[in-house]
Amino acid sequence: MPTEIRNNWTREEVLAIMKKPMNDLLFEAQTIHREFHDPNAVQISQLLSIKTGTCPEDCTYCPQSIRYNTDLDAESLMEVNAVIDQAKAAKKSGASRFCMGAAWRSPKDRDMPKLMEMVKQVRGLGMETCMTLGMLTPDQASHFAEAGLDYYNHNLDTSEEHYDKIITTRTYQDRLNTIENVQNANIKVCSGGIVGLGEEDGDRAGLLMQLANLKQHPESVPINQLVRVKGTPLFDEEPVDKFDFIRVIATARILMPKAAVRLSAGREEMSEEMQAMAFFAGANSIFYGEKLLTTSNPSENDDMALMQKLGIKPLIPEGVDVSEAEHNPCPIHGIKQEHGVRQEIESIPVELQELSEAKAV
């Protein structure tokens, strides 16, 4: 019987799934994963901070808040050309989606023309576009839709109950409103949260329940492990138990079968085995490239080596053009990318195998 897509989960039901014996939980997640997705494909996004630091909000996990003394070089909104250069580089290294993030409470109307131009030009490169700029009004969301924005990232971050301990400058309802504005403008939603904010299991279940009970599930669900940054109030927070983190990924997969579940921030602290387990639990998207927004991420070499070991291939979304990616065909998989169409080639040429060993793919 096909898995039903539900929007009426209770916190108790979600908690019961999350607390199942690990083998049962992983089996269920993997079964659903295979019903809805290619189990050996991972979508690859690359992030760029287009405006860095001096954010007026007080998110206690965030190095970009002006309230905390973190070692961060602030930068005003980047010029369009500089953003496009970075997008071209991301495309060359194999990312299919380019996500632009700004340390804002919300974008100013005066910045909209520049932001829309960024969307248009990144799209013009044949990449998917994503922006994360804080709260959006319905009008701003419509403007971004007109510009062709594919995804908007706006996280709930944690449960409604735990939320006030983490952020006081905007409400949970503000976040839900922005998500609704984005959905109403027909932009795909990327929304998830952070594990490691001192929350209880019930809060993790509460976060996933909120996401899974949205009128429409987010198309993309980033699950971040807190990156503990010196100077932020959460710097001394206890590290997250590895298996508990995997449980969150598996539960997200079970509740939101069609979504791309993204193994997001925090991968630098995870072993290869832990990341492999997250993929097994249903994660099928990552942030790729040596930097997230302001903190570091595993090197491209390490990621490619891991994907090679696991036999995982990059997922190329319909309509995305990766034909100019630096390593085409991909030396690891011997897959030729032609305007989003994957063509298996029979064997991997020796010179490409050598290149793969010498250089990042």
Looking at the annotation, which residues are catalytic? 55, 59, 62, 99, 130, 190, 262
Does 61 sit near ligand SAM (CB under 6 A)? yes
The C-alpha angle with vertex 266 and arms to 285 and 66, in degrees rounded to 5, equals 115
Minimum distance from CB of 295 to ligand DTB (Å)?
4
> Binders of ligand SF4: how many residues, by CB under 6 A?
9
Minimum distance from CB of 328 to ligand SF4 (Å)?
35
Does 250 sit near ligand SAM (CB under 6 A)? no
Sketch the per residue contact string, 15 through 44, with ligand DTB: x for CB under 6 A, - otherwise: ------------------------------
The gap between the terminal CA atoms of the chain, to the nearest Å, is 40
**How many angstroms separate the CA atoms of 322 and 338, rounded?**
7
Residue 95 vs 361, nearer CB to ligand DTB: 95
Please report the sign of the dihedral spanned by the C-alpha atoms of residue 13, residue 15, residue 20, residue 24: positive
Minimum distance from CB of 17 to ligand DTB (Å)?
22
Would you give the distance in Å from CA 26 to the centre of its chain?
A: 21
Does 62 sit near ligand SF4 (CB under 6 A)? yes
What pairing do the DSSP bridges indicate for beta strands 335-338 and 341-344? antiparallel
Minimum distance from CB of 343 to ligand SAM (Å)?
36
The C-alpha angle with vertex 319 and arms to 278 and 155, in degrees rounded to 5, equals 45
Residue 102 vs 332, nearer CB to ligand DTB: 102
Does 65 sit near ligand SF4 (CB under 6 A)? yes
Q: Give residue 181's identity as a one-letter amino acid code.
A: N
Residue 26 vs 119, nearer CB to ligand DTB: 119
CB-based contact 289:46 (threshold 8 Å): yes
Does 199 sit near ligand SAM (CB under 6 A)? no
Residue 227 vs 286, nearer CB to ligand SF4: 227
Does 297 sit near ligand SF4 (CB under 6 A)? no
Does 134 sit near ligand SF4 (CB under 6 A)? yes
Mapped onto helix, strand or coil, the DSSP state of residue 246 is helix
For residue 84, CA distances in Å to 42, 190, 204, 356 come to 24, 22, 37, 27
Q: Tell me the Ramachandran region of residue 213: left when phi exceeds 0, alpha when psi lies from -120 to 50, beta otherwise.
A: alpha
Taking Cα atoms as reference points, which of 84, 100, 122, 88 lies closest to residue 51? 100
Contacting residue, 44, 55, 189, 283, with ligand SF4 by CB under 6 A: 55
Mapped onto helix, strand or coil, the DSSP state of residue 301 is helix
**How many angstroms separate the CA atoms of 89 and 325, rounded?**
9
CB-based contact 162:194 (threshold 8 Å): no
Q: Which does 65 bind (CB under 5 to 8 A by kind): ligand DTB, ligand SAM, ligand SF4, none?
A: ligand SF4
Minimum distance from CB of 281 to ligand SF4 (Å)?
26
Contacting residue, 43, 46, 57, 246, with ligand SF4 by CB under 6 A: 57
Sketch the per residue contact string, 147 through 166, with ligand DTB: x for CB under 6 A, - otherwise: ------x-x-----------
Structure tokens at 97: 């989606």
Interaction site with ligand DTB (CB under 6 A) = 47, 63, 101, 132, 153, 155, 192, 222, 224, 227, 264-265, 292-295
